[in-house]
Amino acid sequence: MYHHKSIAGIGLTFLALFCSTAFAQGAPTPAAAAQQALQTNPEVAAKFNALRASVDEIDAARGAYLPRVDVAAEVGRTQDRIDNRNPADQSLSRNGASVTVTQMLWDGLATRSEVSRASHNRMARYFEFVDATEQTSLEAGRAFYDVLRYRKLVALAEDNYVQHKSVSDQIQSRVRAGVTRGVDLEQSSARLALAESNLITEKTNLHDVTERYRRVVGELPPRYVDGVPPLGRTLPASTQAALEAAVQKSPVIAGAIETLRGVRAQSGAWRSTFQPRVEARLRSGAGRNYDGLENQRRETSASLVMNWNVFNGGTDAARLRQQGHLLTQAGDLRDKACRDTRQNTAIAFNEVRRLEEQLVFLKLNTEAIEKARDAYRQQFNIGQRSLLDVLNAENELYTAKRALAQAQTDREIAILRTHAAIGTLGVAFGLAQQSDAKDLAPDSNGWEAGEDAAGRCPVDPTELDGLPRAELDNRVRAQQAAAARGLPASVSPRMMVGDAATR
């Protein structure tokens, strides 16, 4: 049974969770940003208060097991007329007080069903609270990495401007010396204007994400950030493992299952209306002319009362049918929550893997373009390259560096999204390790979906139809061989097989 001291314990855990000294205020990490956001986020506070209210709801439901004590007091005067009495008109003053104790003996298991419903409701509120912390941590982490993203993009845009400005000044000197044509100056001025426009755009984006960070976290981001710890090492090893972990750990799915169980328990409460209610009552009172009986001073009675409603206009039967439909709806919402979580997990996890593969080639691309740009500038200085070649190489390098910075940040955010979809972002940040968050809901220890697991939510990974790299390399060699024989180079072995199958 939950008492007020349980609420106090939950409140202490809540404070320990959000006010932990594990992360210094302003520390330049996404975990510190999440910590600060959780302390001030109104949605998280609202979910926590809903959890506290659900704990009180259990106590309220359990109260039906205990006796009910009513105290009544009365003072009044009665005047009546009886024709065969002499005198016919009489009046009687009375007063008195009574105590009535009523103990429920049988209510068709309505109280047990109500306690069960309130308990599942508390668990649902707990998982909603956990999901709110996960989503707030995700939003704070995303805001943190977006600030880092656009700071780096501003730095790249500034460097791009410097490079174009340097080339433009060099061309201007050559034009004045009569070595270079005026059209080259126009080309360099146009590219310089574009570089300035890009710099303004990136600064505007940085301002916007900084304001978003301030809204989410409640303060400005740290000015300098170094050595942000990666979270990728804590991810599941495969898509299958990620999906299974999401189904088992996701607070969204768990909350939907607890809601389903609560609706089922509510159905049991409505079934109790078809059964009798049995109560034991003890009443004792005293007074002057008590209960309107002349000269009566006290009365004590004990009784066993049964009340059985045999017809209620069909209301109880309709309510029971309604609960059946609500139970089916709750099952549908549980399956939807599972499908949504599965999709979010699969997409986020696949994006992590995709970006990890792309980063290898984006780095190679950037290094190669940077070497080509340097070579072009040297060749331009000795007259072996045109100005357009240099400007194009400069823009290509800026685009490559920008794509690399975007991919690096997108990978970190995809890792956060994967953790949040599974329900492990707080643990990955280290937030849940600073206090026993399970105290918020003791029933969550060893929680399992059991037979209430989603039935229309496959957890097998999606297999994509694509050729392996070795097969693509074979196609390249086949095209080269076909070109050597004078055949069209665009014809692939797969296309040729398909055409042969249709002939």
406: pLDDT strictly greater than 90: yes
C-alpha dist (Å) from residue 110 to 57, 124, 429:
15, 21, 44
Q: Please, which residues bridge with residue 97 across strands?
A: 73, 286
In a domain, 90, yes or no: no
Most confident of 230-244, 283-297, 329-343: 329-343
Q: What is the pTM of this model?
A: 0.83
Is 441 within the bounds of a domain? yes
Are 376 and 485 within one domain? no
Which range is least confidently modeled, 135-149, 272-286, 290-304, 458-472?
Answer: 458-472
The helices-and-strands tally (H runs, E runs) of the chain is 12, 4
Is the pLDDT at 321 greater than 60, yes or no?
A: yes
- Residues paired with residue 94 on neighbouring β-strands, in sequence order: 76
pLDDT for the residue numbered 490: 59
Question: Is the per-residue pLDDT at 383 higher than 90?
Answer: no
> Cα separation of 379 and 369, whole Å?
15
Count Cβ atoms below 10 Å from residue 303 Cβ, excluding itself. Answer: 9
| Per-residue model confidence (pLDDT) at position 432 | 55
Q: Would the pLDDT of 304 be above 90? A: yes
- Helix, strand, coil content of the chain in percent (nearest 5): 70, 10, 20
Tokens for 2? Answer: 């939950």
Q: How many domains does the chain have?
A: 2
Section 14-41 average pLDDT: 67
Q: Which comes out higher in pLDDT, residue 472 or 177?
A: 472
Give the mean pLDDT of 128-150: 95
For residue 502, tell me if it sits in a domain. Answer: yes
For residue 1, pLDDT over 70 is answered with: no
Asked if residue 262 and residue 232 are part of one domain, the reply reads yes
Let me know if residue 282 belongs to a domain: no
The CA-CA-CA angle for residues 230, 233, 239, to 5°, reads 125
Q: 76 - beta bridge partners?
A: 94
Residues 354, 494 share a domain: no
398 and 367 assigned to the same domain: yes
224 and 169, same domain (yes or no): yes
The predicted pLDDT at position 122 comes to 93
Per-residue pLDDT tens digits for 38-48: 988 899 989 98
What confidence category does residue 19 fall into, taking pLDDT thresholds of 50, 70 and 90?
very low
Neighbours of 247 (CB within 10 A): 20
CA angle, residues 279, 280, 283, in degrees to nearest 5? 125
- 50 to each of 120, 132, 248, 280, how far by Cα in Å? 13, 12, 24, 36
Q: What is the mean pLDDT of residues 127-135?
A: 94
Please indicate, yes or no, if residue 22 is contained in any of the structural domains: yes
Residue 227 pLDDT > 70: no
Mean pLDDT of the chain: 86
> Residue 202 and residue 221: Cα distance in Å, rounded?
17
Look at residue 234 in the predicted model and tell me its pLDDT. 82
393 & 472 share domain: no
The SS3 call for residue 109 is coil
Position 292 scores a pLDDT of: 76
- State the average pLDDT over residues 107-128: 94
259/202 same-domain check: yes
Least confident span in 21-35, 117-131, 379-393, 406-420: 21-35
To 5 degrees, how large is the angle CA 202–CA 417–CA 15?
A: 100
What domain range includes position 495?
468-503
The percentage of the chain sitting over the pLDDT mark of 90, rounded to a whole number, equals: 60
Examine residue 309 and state whether it is found in any structural domain, yes or no.
no
**Are residues 250 and 182 located together in one domain of the fold?**
yes
- Looking at the structure, tell me whether residues 489 and 382 fall in a common domain: no
Average of pLDDT values for 351-357?
95
Domain shared by 167 and 218, yes or no: yes
Handedness of CA 47, 53, 55, 61 (dihedral sign): negative
Residues forming a β-bridge with 78 = 92
Same domain, 448 and 495: no
Q: List pLDDT tens digits, range 412-433.
A: 999 999 999 999 999 888 885 4
pLDDT, one tens digit per residue, over 49-76 is 899 899 899 999 999 999 999 999 999 8
pLDDT of residue 438: 58
Q: How confident is the model at residue 494 (pLDDT cuts 50, 70, 90)?
A: low
CA-to-CA distance for 472 and 480, rounded, in angstroms? 13
Residue 5: the pLDDT is 37
Q: 73, 94 in Cβ contact below 8 A?
A: no
Domain CATH number, residue 456: 1.20.1600.10
Which of the four pLDDT bands, split at 50, 70 and 90, describes residue 439? Answer: low
In this prediction, residue 445 carries a pLDDT of 75
Structural domain includes residue 154: yes
Residue 183 lies in a domain: yes
Residue with tokens 């950030």: 225
Torsion region of 41: left, alpha or beta (phi above 0 gives left; psi -120 to 50 gives alpha):
beta
Sequence-distant (≥ 6) Cβ neighbours of residue 169 within 8 angstroms = none
Mean pLDDT of all residues in 194-218: 95
For residue 272, the model assigns a pLDDT of: 92
**202 and 233 fall within a common domain:** yes
Of residues 246 and 230, which shows the higher confidence score? 246
